[in-house]
Amino acid sequence: MIEFSNVTKKYDEIEALRNFSLKISDGELLILLGPSGCGKSTALKLINALVKPTEGEVYIDGESVASKSPEELRRGIGYAIQNMGLFPHYSVENNISIVPKLLKWSKIDIEKRVDELMDLVGLQRNFKNKLPGELSGGEGQRVGVARALAADPKILLMDEPFGSLDPLNRIRLQNEFLKIQRHLKKTVIFVTHDVEEAVRLADRIVIMRLGELIVSGTPEQLMTNKSSEERNYISEFLGSEYSLKLLSRLNVEKYIRTLGVEKFDPETAVKLDSNLTQALSMMVSKGVDRINVCENDSEDIVGEIRIWDIISAYKGDKI
């Protein structure tokens, strides 16, 4: 568990972080969300001691971060950042194996680990000897994620790791990362200013402003948050179509009706692993209120979904 206890960070007279307290449980994917300059990157860097608190302390599993040697601490925490973080003079292989080398793993272990990681993040083996300058944006970010995961750290810090990618690649990498995360169950702290990215990935979202924690909760809780004094700021920041974005977290599979299924135009059918946003989008584009759902890998119809099921999707959930 990671715990921020009343942390304040001042740069000269400017407070980047003010009286910040937060607990992050093991295996949680926490998103720090906020406009630029809200202190989210500062909060992230406090965890691996790249930034030292002016007041307060950060604890990992009950031990104060300040009490450990920063190098030892950082070797146990994965760190992935936007584009430029790869070492331009290191090959992909050497970039990935930095931390294992610092930890003095054997050569065979490192080689095995690099192969494993490249498979995990979907990089072909023949990329090993390329330099970062020869990679596309998406490939570079995959290397960045592989490098962060290299020594199998319990904690993963990610500072807008997909920020520089085009929308298509970004969504692809987000989905792949989610798959990896479901499998590895790391404690992930992920910084972004992109609401859609936050909704797609988060177990829990923390919204920040001017160095302060405004609200913390699951994406669903944020939608219905009525008690907070900062309601206006929250709804303004999340945007008026936030509830539509939330639909992307729900899978069609959970909402299909299998009884009395009629057959509609096969072109309107959505696949079983689509999310509700995609289903709704299909209905809007075809001007219908019911569509078929088919198997992922064939056109066999397994049920149907109605617009009312989508609209009331969150009504039934106890938030």
Is 102 or 311 the residue whose CB approaches another protein more closely? 102
Site size toward another protein (CB under 8 A) is 29
157: left (phi over 0), alpha (psi -120 to 50) or beta: beta
How far apart are CB 68 and another protein at their closest, in Å?
Answer: 11
Angle between helices 137-149 and 107-120 (to 10 degrees): 130
CA distance 189 to 42: 12
Query: Applying CB under 8 A, which of residues 21, 27, 63, 89 lies at the interface with another protein?
Result: 89
CA distance 29 to 108: 32
In the list 5, 8, 19, 82, the residue contacting another protein (rule: CB under 8 A) is: 82
73 binds another protein (CB under 8 A): yes
Nearest approach, Cβ of residue 31 and another protein (Å)? 19
**What Cα–Cα distance (Å) separates residue 248 from each residue in 92, 96, 198, 238, 314?**
34, 32, 11, 15, 12
Question: Closer CB to another protein, residue 89 or residue 125?
Answer: 89
**By C-beta, is 151 or 250 nearer to another protein?**
151
Residue 91 binding another protein, by CB under 8 A: yes
Please name which of 66, 27, 62, 72 lies closest in space to residue 49, comparing C-alpha atoms: 66
Nearest to 253 by CA among 309, 308, 215: 309
Under rule CB under 8 A, residue 90 binds another protein? yes
Instruction: Say which amino acid occupies 238.
Output: L
Q: Is 164 in the site for another protein (CB under 8 A)?
A: no
Q: Is 98 in the site for another protein (CB under 8 A)?
A: yes
Stretch that binds another protein, among 18-26, 58-66, 93-101, 308-316 (CB under 8 A): 93-101
Contact region for another protein (CB under 8 A) — 2-10, 91-99, 173-181, 238-246? 91-99
Could you tell me which stretch among 83-91, 203-211, 271-279, 300-308 binds another protein (CB under 8 A)? 83-91
Residue where the block lists tokens 């070492």: 87
The least CB distance from residue 101 to another protein, in Å, is: 8
By CB under 8 A, name the one of 99, 188, 199, 207 that touches another protein: 99
Question: How far from 314 is each of 117, 168, 270, CA to CA, in Å?
Answer: 37, 27, 20
- Residue 52 as a binder of another protein (CB under 8 A): the answer is no
Is 81 a residue that touches another protein (CB under 8 A)? yes
Give the Cα separation of 266 and 251 in Å (integer).
Answer: 20
Order across the sheet with 55-60: list the strands: 14-24, 2-11, 55-60, 63-64
Nearer of residues 98 and 272 to another protein, judged by Cβ? 98
Residue 85 in the binding site for another protein (CB under 8 A):
yes
Residue 175 identity (one-letter amino acid): N
Among 9, 40, 74, 249, binds another protein (CB under 8 A): 74
Is residue 94 near another protein by the rule CB under 8 A?
yes
Contact residue for another protein among 66, 120, 131, 282 (CB under 8 A):
131
Token code pair at residue 267: 């072109």
The 10 Å CB-count burial string (b at 16+, else e) for 262-281 is eeeeeebbbbeebbbbebbe
Backbone angles phi, psi at 63, to 5 degrees: -100, 135
Window of 54-62, 89-97, 165-173, 266-274 that interacts with another protein by CB under 8 A = 89-97
Could you list the residues that contact another protein (CB under 8 A)? 48, 50, 70-77, 79, 81-91, 94, 98-99, 102, 131, 147, 157
